[in-house]
Chain A
Amino acid sequence: DIQMTQSPSSLSASVGDRVTITCRASQDISRWLVWYQQKPEKAPKSLIFGASNLESGVPSRFSGSGSGTEFTLTISSLQPEDFATYYCQHYNSYPLTFGGGTKVEIK
């Protein structure tokens, strides 16, 4: 099974800050990676697919990069509505696996 490791597990940031979250795969997954945002008591929402493709309707302050085993999600200027938990997930093979999540909190 492919293990997905996210870091950090949590972070505190202020509105306007640039935030970067890292996701590492235990083996090469090419660009078969998606990033989700989840707010409390809500379903996850896909933000970035194919490692760097922005979903329709997602603000351009979100961006993704990487390939192979190392990936990043960047929020260029954190907004109040961005405080949430972010998950990466690979879809290279079965079983599909998620990272442990990164909780972005208000500083």
Chain B
Amino acid sequence: EVQLVESGGGLVQPGGSLRLSCAASGFAFPSYWMGWVRQAPGKGLEWVAIIKPDGSEKNYVDSVSGRFTISRDNGKNSLYLQMNSLRAEDTAVYYCARGATRDAYFSYWGRGNLVTVSS
């Protein structure tokens, strides 16, 4: 069974940093694109970042580019999102998601982890 479990969220002050982790199991993690999608309270879904199976290609939404860094450790079956210079508008539930086998959409999602940016 595919499982994605996020951790590392919480309350942080504006300008602060936080690192989200996603522990993956039940599939061959090194073979799949992985990404992060967020959802602000009461709002819709927003794609944040995506990373190639070998980590050689990364893409970001403009609003986080230069502040957030996606990475992975295939030996630990783990995905990360380093978030720096956090702003109030980054407040959201952050979902870890796995790419589909043959298409470039997200076929499995974690339960999400809340990040709150507030003073």
- A-to-B contact residues, CB < 8 Å: 32, 34, 36, 38, 42-46, 49-50, 55, 87, 89, 91, 94-101
Contacts and interface: CB of A to CB of B under 8 A. Distances in A.
Contacts of B47: 89, 95-98
Chain B interface extent, by class:
20 to 34
A49 B103 contact: yes
A62 to B, nearest CB: 15
Interface string B24-53: 000000000000010000001111001000
Nearest to B44: A101
B61 interface: yes
A55 B107 contact: yes
B33 to A, nearest CB: 10
B103 A91 contact: yes
A100 B109 contact: no
